[in-house]
Structure formats: C-alpha cells, structure tokens
C-alpha cells in the first residue's frame, strides 16, 4: 500500500514538472545581425524630396525612421524593431529613407 502511494506521488510530481518546464515564460528576443560594409560609400544627404512629398509636414517619428532607413541603405544597419512594428510613421519613414539613399549608393 505504501509503494502505491509513493508511485502516485512520484507520477504527480513528474507530471507537474514536465508541464511547467514546457511552458515558455517569455518570447526570445532576436537581435539583428550587423552588416559588414566592404565598399566605399560617398557621403550624401539623408534624403531628397520626392515630387509632391512635403517632408516638413511629416512627424518626428517619420524623420527618425527615415534617418535609420538611410543609414541602413548606406551599409550601417539601423532599425528600432519595436518602433518599426508598432509605429506606422516610423515604418513608412524607414522605407522612404532606405529607398532614397539607396539611389545615391556607390555602385
């Protein structure tokens, strides 16, 4: 009788440990890999205005994303992942800056 109680207790303890060990407590955070630049990239303005796009009307968040995107286009990876996924202006600015500065990149 004593052995049966021990087996039940051991089974319960093992099951509890198994199920609690398999439950994640938080999602892992991934860090972007640095980009190695091997070519000379000339210094260019952050971005040129597109026809019909008034950058003076854009938010500071847009400009922050634009500068990060331009820096990325020039070979120095720069993106605030939390802002990129959570702020539409930052994301729009990042793509705009990358596109505009990529056109000035040395070939």
Q: What is the pLDDT of residues 14-47, one digit of tens each?
A: 777 666 665 556 666 666 666 555 444 433 344 4
What pTM, to 2 d.p., does this model score? 0.49
Q: Report how far residue 19's alpha carbon sits from residue 96's, in angstroms, rounded to the nearest whole number.
A: 47
Contacts of 13 (CB under 8 A, 6+ apart): none
Domain boundaries, the chain: 38-107
Q: Report how far residue 87's alpha carbon sits from residue 68's, in angstroms, rounded to the nearest whole number.
A: 14
Q: What is the pLDDT of residues 74-98, one digit of tens each?
A: 989 999 999 999 999 999 999 999 9
DSSP of 49-86 = PPTT--GGGS-HHHHHHHHHHHHHHTT-----HHHHHH
């Amino acid at each position: 009788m004593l052995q049966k109680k021990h087996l039940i207790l051991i089974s319960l303890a093992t099951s509890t440990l198994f199920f609690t060990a398999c439950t994640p407590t938080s999602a892992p955070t991934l860090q972007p890999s640095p980009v190695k630049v091997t070519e000379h990239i000339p210094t260019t303005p952050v971005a040129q205005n597109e026809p019909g796009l008034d950058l003076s009307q854009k938010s500071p968040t847009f400009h922050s994303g634009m500068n990060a995107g331009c820096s990325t286009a020039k070979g120095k990876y720069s993106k605030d992942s939390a802002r990129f996924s959570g702020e539409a202006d930052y994301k729009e600015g990042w793509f705009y800056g990358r596109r505009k500065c990529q056109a000035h990149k040395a070939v």
